[in-house]
Chains A and B, each alone.
Chain A
Amino acid sequence: MIERQEKAYKDEEIYQILHPWVKKWFRGKFETFSEAQRYAIMDIHIGENVLVSSPTGSGKTLTAFLSIISELTHLAERDELEDKVYCLYISPLKALDNDIEKNLEEPLSEIEQIAGKKLGIRKSVRTGDTSQYQRSKMLKTPPHILITTPETLSILLCAPKFRGKLKDIKYLIVDEIHSLADNKRGVHMSLTLERLQNLTGGLTRIGLSATVHPLETIASFLVGYENGHVRNCKVVDVNYLKQLDMKVLCPVEDIVMSDPEEVNTALYNLIHGLVNEHKTTLIFTNTRSGTESMVFNLKKKYPDFYNHENIMAHHSSLSKELRLEAENKLKDGELKVVVSSTSLELGIDIGYIDLVVLVSSPKSVSRALQRIGRSGHQLHDKSKGRIIVVERDDLVECSLILKNAVEGKIDEIHIPQNCLDVLSQQIYGMSIEGKWDIENAYKVIKGSYNYRNLSHNDFISVLSYLAGDYTSLEDRYVYAKIWVDYNDKMFGKRGKLARMLYSTNIGTIPDRSAARVKCNGEVIGGIEEDFMEKLRKGDTFVLGGKIYRFNYARGMTVNVTPSSGPPTIPSWFSEQLPLSFDLAMSIQNFRAIMDVKFKSNKNKEEIIKYIHEYLYVDYNAANSIYSYFREQYIYAQIPSARNLLIEFYKGYGGRKFVIFHTLFGRRVNDALSRAVAYLIAKKYKRDVMISVSDNGFYLSSDGKVGGLDIFTELRPDNIEEILIKAIDKTETLAARFRHCAGRSLMILRRYKGNEKSVSRQQIKGKILLKFVKDLDNNFSILREARREVIEDYMDVKNAKKVLEMISDGRMNVNKIDTKIPSPFAFNLVAQSYLDVLKYEERIEFIRRMHQAIIKEIGDEVIKSYSSTD
């Protein structure tokens, strides 16, 4: 059972359970226990599973470790410490592992001083970076506290000798668990933990999390299931102790009336002003390209103030060296500003930051809180965050983020379920541990929160894939990773290289085959293969805050030279974060309230006052929101949680546009729009252009589009099936399939010394996908790729919810004709990324493009062609 821990223990009560030396040490260091410590330490002491959610700087490390250190001290005093691991600490980042080891140094050595003798409590970090020498040392004298990453743990479970050192682990700490829960890394970890559970026969699990919702789900994810029931866990929630100083700022007085140029200039003025008022500012921009242009523009606009010594970019495409340099300079307090896309959201120690600026919406409340939580270091410091909005939809969105954050309403986390690719990898790992009884393995797997509902059929289909059943008998020895004996109900590994293959190919982060960017012979960073493929000679793009000209690509290396002038980053290159569904719904509810206000003829002052109070925004912002909504109300209707508005308008040349005001976030809209477009394309045999954003989507065509009628054909019970058909020929599915093939070890990243080869690049997702479809349209990895696209990349679950709201009448569908797009539609039409979705066969695509190209080239071609022979 998952329960909230409501009881806070008193100092004396906690001191009572601590070893006297530990107690003395703590007293000398701290006046009293932190709130999190009062709630959690006693439970950890008695071996209960605990999830602690608290902000950074609230003594989280000690909350988890204090009673464990105390117990180890007891053992050490009695000279009963054995050569085995007692406590395992896992974090998602190697850097965080190293931080934690340093943080443990102080208490352990100071307690030894108090004891007046050597206690010999050992701790070590073990990651992919650990040298062979250190590893063998660790085997001889294992650390009592082992600090590692989820991936390294699953490798250790396969290590024949070291495995023995893990079998008596009593405590497991998972740090930053929220950052693992919503992705496949976490899915992978949950199975690793079940493997560990199976080895140890049971252990105390302690999770440390930032503010996420619902904590009960994170707790289930942490502790897993046994015989169909969730294991016990206490949830400690001590958020909002650290006060939040959070504001939404408009760079200009009236964001509705200002033109973008004006807003842009004002934006940099505002940011520059904020930077000047603070010691160190961390700016988040959502995208890597946004990060690049922020650094670039600040340097350009204030050349006397910013230089490469005091401002740096930090994002995942930069080289490891550059990122480390930025982190170290931050820790040493040398930077005035650091600009990040999302990479600095996680909890590594980044030194003193007194202001976090978010440029435009962070798209979810939890993300906003987490980013802002990076500022203010000490327990009682306020976290200070400023969200700067750049246009009117942004203003509404950020205002609701502010409201929800202040009121503690946080978006629900999405946790992937039944991922068959990760399952393949883990079953392979299990088989390396030793022979398994099939049903026993199934039971262990179902212990994971993510696989608690795994069907027996799906489980068997993965075993069958691993056993190479998809290949001919004579070839099977090449492809089979395990043997399965269906009669004796047993399976086990195949091949002598199994352990080596497993440990070098483990993990869930797709091999995106980033191309190295070289300038004057030096590697300056990486860009993704897709991006490289689209670059043309002479294109300029920004990397690490500097501009480079693309010269040529050879293999996976891109050659560039430094350049100047405005970058020509292709505009279609989109990596926007999607708006969370819960935040979207709260915006929809706000829209509904506004609709009522206008309909009941409230006067302007009243409404503005209401907005000011409801959203906690200043009067300028309230005024802008008022005029934006009023325009929409007068010109058309206000779409809202009660009113799904479909707007029809005719564009240039009579082209018909159907705008769906579905403010549900891009993941839901992706699902809805593709399903609708698929139905339209099928019904009218027409190409449909589709464009999706967080606030809605539109379809356009030069012929009949329909819209309302088609939309009503979509039902909660058929959307999934339609969507699977709709994504069948997309690049998204092909790319995701390739990732899934990697995770399920159909494509090995590292194999007998081959890492990056030319043929590897030539094997595109599409060819693989075609081959697998021909082989078996229900192949487990193919099904997983489809699931990942519709459930993780898109959000079919919430799309179904929307359709339910429509079918049970909570949401009405209304239709309106407009001559020009309504104010709410305007941004939607202007800003969303365009996707020409055509459900045509490859040959139809080729014929159409051939016609189009020939038409563009013109008549000369036809002439020259008829005169060629």
Chain B
Amino acid sequence: MAKNLIYNAEIADLGLLIDDALIISDLHIGYEQSLNREGIMIPRFQYKMILERLQEIIKRSSVGKVIVNGDLKHEFGSITRQEWEEALNFIEFLQENFDDVILLKGNHDNFTKFIAGKTGLEVYETYSLGDFIIMHGDKIPEDIMVMEESTIIIGHEHPCIGIRNGERLEKIKCFIKGNYKKKNLVVMPSFNFVSEGSDILHEKPLSPFLKNRSTDEFGVYGVENFEVLYFGKIKDIITVKDRFY
């Protein structure tokens, strides 16, 4: 169905499908533990949810390859052994369920050496897939404009839109469809369940791909439990949304 396609990449819940490759981004495993360290005593709960959601995607589509577009682990540094194990278990889960696992570096990931040592996997800065170039999006490669691919796929931003009606506010995770200079740009939502992300209608963007420029013409594809809802362009939503307050 057309509405699930952004530049020919298919939205599959919070992931993006290009042929038989599934891209997921910003899992932030271990978020709860880092919250614990800040005094928010929430037990671990999202790891299980991430696995269940991935299994559901696998069940619905034929996927051979998985690409983790950065920030697999929320925090690296003085973390416990148990938290390391969770990250490794997750990679093991990916290796068991996909033929090929590609890891891309995010701004939270300083685990290159460690993962390479333990799993034999490499961690890449960018990954090319047909006409798509995939990267985390926390920085812009210098040679971006001479790359051959016409569409850039990034994560990092955790985009969502906040919709208010009366006293109720719900934030909906979304994909953003836009451009960067002459290239197409797709921003992916985060594949986690601890936070909805940052409201692109309201908050300033983080990624240098989006900073200091107008995103008015960008299209918004909301996603809620496999359902895709096209909301139109950012400028249009901003114009009409106050009418619902």
**Are A850 and B169 touching (Cβ within 8 A)?**
no
- CB-CB contacts of A746-764 with B at 8 A, as 1s and 0s? 1111111010010110111
- Of B38-46, B109-117, B120-128, the one contacting chain A is B38-46
Q: Which of A536, A843, A856, A865 touches B219 (beta carbons < 8 Å)?
A: A865
**Are B37 and A747 touching (Cβ within 8 A)?**
no
Instruction: Tell me the count of chain B residues lying within 8 A, CB to CB, of chain A.
Output: 53
CA of A539 to CA of B2, assembled, Å? 39
**A139 on the B face (CB < 8 A):** no
Chain B positions within 8 Å of A474 at CB level: 82
**Are B42 and A768 touching (Cβ within 8 A)?**
yes
Name the distance in Å between A534's Cβ and chain B's nearest Cβ: 8
**A231 on the B face (CB < 8 A):** no
8 A-B pairs with the lowest CB-CB distances in the bound complex, closest first: A751-B39, A748-B39, A836-B166, A856-B240, A861-B232, A762-B195, A754-B38, A471-B43
CA of A843 to CA of B2, assembled, Å? 21
Chain A positions within 8 Å of B41 at CB level: 478-479, 745-748
User: Who on chain B is nearest to A851 by CB?
Assistant: B229
**A132 on the B face (CB < 8 A):** no
CA of A505 to CA of B38, assembled, Å? 13
Name the distance in Å between B50's Cβ and chain A's nearest Cβ: 14
**A348 on the B face (CB < 8 A):** no
CA of A861 to CA of B230, assembled, Å? 9
**Are B43 and A470 touching (Cβ within 8 A)?**
yes
**Are A760 and B204 touching (Cβ within 8 A)?**
no
CA of A866 to CA of B5, assembled, Å? 11
CA of A225 to CA of B100, assembled, Å? 69
**A852 on the B face (CB < 8 A):** yes
Chain B positions within 8 Å of A854 at CB level: 230-232
**B62 on the A face (CB < 8 A):** no
Name the distance in Å between A536's Cβ and chain B's nearest Cβ: 8
Q: Which of B35, B39, B229 touches A850 (beta carbons < 8 Å)?
A: B229
Q: Which of B45, B163, B241 touches A846 (beta carbons < 8 Å)?
A: B163
**Are A748 and B243 touching (Cβ within 8 A)?**
no
**Are B168 and A857 touching (Cβ within 8 A)?**
no
**A838 on the B face (CB < 8 A):** yes
CA of A330 to CA of B116, assembled, Å? 69
Q: Which of A470, A747, A835, A861 touches B39 (beta carbons < 8 Å)?
A: A747
Chain A CB count within 10 A is highest, among B41, B165, B227, B243, for B41
Chain B positions within 8 Å of A596 at CB level: none
Question: Residues of A at under 8 Å CB distance from B?
Answer: 470-472, 474-475, 478-479, 505, 533, 536, 552, 554, 570, 572, 730-732, 745-752, 754, 757, 759-760, 762-764, 767-768, 771, 774-775, 834-838, 842-843, 845-847, 849-850, 852-854, 856-857, 861, 864-866, 868-869
**Are B227 and A843 touching (Cβ within 8 A)?**
yes
User: Who on chain A is nearest to B240 by CB?
Assistant: A856
**Are A845 and B170 touching (Cβ within 8 A)?**
yes
**B8 on the A face (CB < 8 A):** yes
**Are B38 and A475 touching (Cβ within 8 A)?**
no
CA of A131 to CA of B231, assembled, Å? 56
Chain B positions within 8 Å of A731 at CB level: 167-169
Chain A positions within 8 Å of B242 at CB level: 536
Chain B interface mostly: mixed
Name the distance in Å between A466's Cβ and chain B's nearest Cβ: 11
**Are A767 and B219 touching (Cβ within 8 A)?**
no
Name the distance in Å between A781's Cβ and chain B's nearest Cβ: 11
Name the distance in Å between B115's Cβ and chain A's nearest Cβ: 24
User: Who on chain B is nearest to A472 by CB?
Assistant: B43
User: Who on chain A is nearest to B8 by CB?
Assistant: A869
Chain A positions within 8 Å of B243 at CB level: 856
Q: Which of A730, A750, A754, A853 touches B232 (beta carbons < 8 Å)?
A: A853
CA of A425 to CA of B158, assembled, Å? 35
Contacts A748-B40, A752-B37 given; indicate if A846 touches B232 (C-beta within 8 A).
no
Chain B positions within 8 Å of A732 at CB level: 167
Q: A846-B172, A868-B177 are in contact. List 10 more A-B contacts (CB 8 A).
A: A747-B40, A751-B37, A759-B35, A759-B38, A759-B40, A767-B195, A835-B166, A835-B167, A836-B168, A856-B240
Chain A CB count within 10 A is highest, among B34, B163, B165, B168, for B168
**B129 on the A face (CB < 8 A):** no
User: Who on chain B is nearest to A750 by CB?
Assistant: B39
Chain B positions within 8 Å of A470 at CB level: 43
Contacts A754-B38, A771-B45, A847-B229 given; indicate if A834 touches B166 (C-beta within 8 A).
yes
Chain B positions within 8 Å of A746 at CB level: 40-42
**Are A845 and B40 touching (Cβ within 8 A)?**
no
CA of A854 to CA of B237, assembled, Å? 9
CA of A853 to CA of B31, assembled, Å? 33
Q: Which of A757, A846, A869 touches B222 (beta carbons < 8 Å)?
A: A846
**Are B237 and A845 touching (Cβ within 8 A)?**
no
User: Who on chain A is nearest to B5 by CB?
Assistant: A869
**Are B231 and A838 touching (Cβ within 8 A)?**
no
A–B pairs, 22, beta carbons within 8 Å: A475-B44, A478-B41, A479-B43, A505-B39, A572-B245, A746-B40, A746-B41, A751-B37, A759-B34, A764-B196, A775-B43, A836-B167, A846-B163, A849-B165, A852-B244, A853-B240, A856-B240, A857-B232, A857-B236, A857-B239, A865-B3, A866-B2
